[in-house]
């Protein structure tokens, strides 16, 4: 069956979801809109949508090849990606390989400080609350995920971190931290979902330590588009 893009079903801060003629699949459209600090700061990163679609497609394919089930099906055009229809588990799963961002702030640590072992954190996906950090037991208590689901999410997340650390390292980039989202299809099968791009990862150029991710927008560091382009070039060739 040839997939046809139908009506808009959801619009988020960086992406729009469209229904298709197949109830099991949706089209994920990547926008240029950029937000930070729970949408208090708004802007545009020119061609971000095109670059994030490209980068995410390459990374999802790489993870699939390494036995991580993802919602990715195929890249349809510059900004459209065909994905499995999933309901998103309302958790943002963050992995940190070095101290940065909210961890540095929360603990009064210096950005770039090494960690003895990587850190995994859960945040509850709720814009009105500003995505608060939560514990695993909290996720279970409110039934945001079942124990077996949480175990799967953790196992996959650690494996994704190992895979992506090596993937980026081989391309001249240090993976400082990143955020993942997971979703379940109609049968309850779990997939890695959302996107993997400089919007949701901290990526520092090896050697120089130059920031190549959304922190350039969040912190008004300049060269925002150039940095996304550099990542795109390094990852997609």
Where on the chain is the footprint of ligand TMP (CB under 6 A)? 94, 100-103, 131, 177-179, 200-202
Given a contact cutoff of 8 angstroms between Cβ atoms, the answer to whether 105 and 136 are in contact is no
CB 203, min distance to ligand TMP, A: 9
**Distances 113 to 78, 83, 97, 103 between C-alpha atoms, Å:** 37, 37, 9, 11
As measured in angstroms, the least distance from the Cβ of 25 to ligand TMP is 24
| CA pair distance 75, 95, nearest whole angstrom | 26
Q: Given the complex with ligand TMP, which of 20 and 193 has the nearer CB atom?
A: 193
Q: Which is nearer to ligand TMP, 174 or 177 (CB)?
A: 177
Nearest approach in angstroms of CB 180 to ligand TMP is 9
The nearer residue to ligand TMP, 17 or 109, going by C-beta atoms, is 109
With contact defined as beta carbons under 8 Å apart, do 122 and 134 qualify? yes
User: What's the closest the beta carbon of residue 103 comes to ligand TMP, in angstroms?
Assistant: 6
Identify whether the C-beta of residue 72 lies closer than 8 Å to the C-beta of residue 132: no
DSSP letter (8 states) at residue 135: -
Residue nearest ligand TMP, Cβ-based: 101
């Amino acid at each position: 069956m040839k997939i046809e893009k139908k009506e808009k079903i959801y619009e988020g801060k960086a992406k729009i979801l469209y229904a298709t003629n197949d109830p099991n699949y949706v089209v994920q459209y990547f926008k240029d809109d950029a937000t930070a600090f729970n949408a208090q700061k708004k802007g545009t990163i020119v061609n971000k949508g095109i670059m994030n679609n490209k980068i995410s497609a390459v990374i999802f394919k790489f993870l699939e090849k390494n036995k991580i089930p993802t919602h990715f099906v195929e890249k349809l055009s510059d900004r459209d990606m065909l994905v499995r229809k999933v309901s998103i588990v309302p958790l943002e799963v963050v992995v940190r390989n070095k101290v940065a961002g909210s961890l540095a702030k929360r603990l009064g640590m210096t950005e770039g400080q090494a960690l003895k072992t990587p850190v995994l954190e859960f945040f509850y996906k709720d814009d009105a609350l500003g995505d608060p950090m939560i514990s695993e037991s909290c996720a279970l208590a409110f039934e945001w995920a079942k124990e077996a689901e949480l175990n799967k999410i953790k196992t996959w997340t650690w494996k994704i971190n190992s895979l992506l650390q090596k993937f980026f390292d081989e391309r001249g980039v240090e993976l400082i931290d990143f955020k993942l989202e997971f979703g379940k299809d109609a049968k309850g099968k779990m997939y890695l979902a959302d996107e993997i791009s400089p919007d949701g990862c901290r990526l520092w150029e090896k050697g120089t330590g130059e920031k190549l991710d959304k922190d350039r927008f969040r912190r008004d560091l300049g060269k925002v588009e150039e940095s996304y382009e550099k990542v795109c070039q390094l990852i997609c060739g």
